[in-house]
Amino acid sequence: MAVDNQTVVYISEQVVILISCALSFWGSLLIICTYILWPDLRSTPRTLLVFLSVADFLSAGSYAYGVWSVFESDSVDCVVQGAISTFANTSSFFWTVSIAIYLYIFIVKSNQRLADSFVLCFHVISWGIPLGITIAALSLGRIGYDASEVSVGWCWVRIQAPDHVLWMLLTGKIWEFLAYLTLPVLYILIKKHIHRAHAALSEYRPILACSPLSQSLSNMADRKLTLIPVIFIALRIWSTVRFLLMLADSPARQNPVLVTLHGIGNTFQGAANCIMFVLFTQPIRSRLSTMLCYCCCCCRAGSGASLTPSNTPNHRTGASYNTPNHRTGASPKPYNTPNHRGLGLESGLGVETPSQPEDTPNTSPRGWPDGC
């Protein structure tokens, strides 16, 4: 295929895709940071999600560099960017399927020990196979400029290589097709198992099964199990369509709308995971909002302290800010509420478990009071 047939990437497409890369970059980083910040949330499924986020983090960064540069030749930075994105993108496919397999064994087979024993295999496969494919493609000179025929400015498989279709399959497309088939099957089986278990629970414990809290958590898990494969396919399908159009040598592959959708789909996976497993997961969302509230309070307190020195008297009470409480004569005590460590994720699905009675005040994991 001649390089003269290259797809033009317009500035508007660049801007949209760079925004998608930024959202995915920061979304993946947020997943990693929440995992580091709160040890009590480090369940095995969330650990696997962190490794997926590492792959999405590398993928978003390398894609952003490629979209910003819009390569026009097999330069050194083109080859480096193509190698990183090839490794990260392929690894992302493997980790996505690995999480589905883990949840299937854990929930449907009810065998946590067996599921945990697969974690090492997941690492070997999800890092090893993409690394081996990337090294082989680099050593054979197959990574490079692809004229944006099946990309959006970034480099991937050299379009002038005689076996470029084979290497496009090996470096991404064949694993993408397998994920299309595997993910819906596994998550449908998981959903069916949960529905059967919930029906059995309703028969023997109707009061608990019909409670608003139980129903809410069940609905949340059901929605996430539906959204995981749907979002994956909705994001990735556009690159598959362009690949098939390239095989058919159809000019429709250069359609600006299709090119933009392809760019967003390949770069938005990290942001989509952040929305589902951080922003739509109540325990983590509550902790983040409490932390944000605390930081805002500290900023306001700091600005107030800079305007009024701490050793000056209070204009209303005549007492100093660093003196004992003028009502009780005792120094004010800091908040010392206990940590609530029961806000874990059930099987990594983002299903929340209640950790404290409703009549106790909400506190953050650091003991900061809600509302500041």
pLDDT in tens, 122-168: 999 999 999 999 999 999 999 998 888 888 989 999 988 899 999 99
Q: So what's the pLDDT on residue 274?
A: 92
Q: Both tokens of residue 80?
A: 């480096």
According to the model, what pLDDT value does residue 218 have?
54
User: Residue 282: its pLDDT value, please?
Assistant: 82
Given this model, what pLDDT does residue 110 score? 87
* DSSP H or E segment with residue 150: none
CB 361 within 8 A of CB 370: yes
Q: What is the pLDDT of residue 204?
A: 56
Q: Tokens 């290497």 label which residue?
A: 167
Residue 240: predicted pLDDT? 93
- Tens-place pLDDT, residues 44-69: 989 999 999 999 999 999 999 999 98
pLDDT digits (tens, 9 = 90+) for 256-270: 999 999 999 999 999
Query: What pLDDT was estimated at residue 332?
Result: 43
Low-confidence ranges of the chain (pLDDT < 50): 1-2, 207-209, 213-214, 307-349, 351-372
Three-state secondary-structure class, residue 157: strand
Look at residue 281 in the predicted model and tell me its pLDDT: 83
The Cβ of residue 363 has, within 10 Å, a number of other Cβ atoms equal to: 18
Tokens 């497409």, residue located = 13
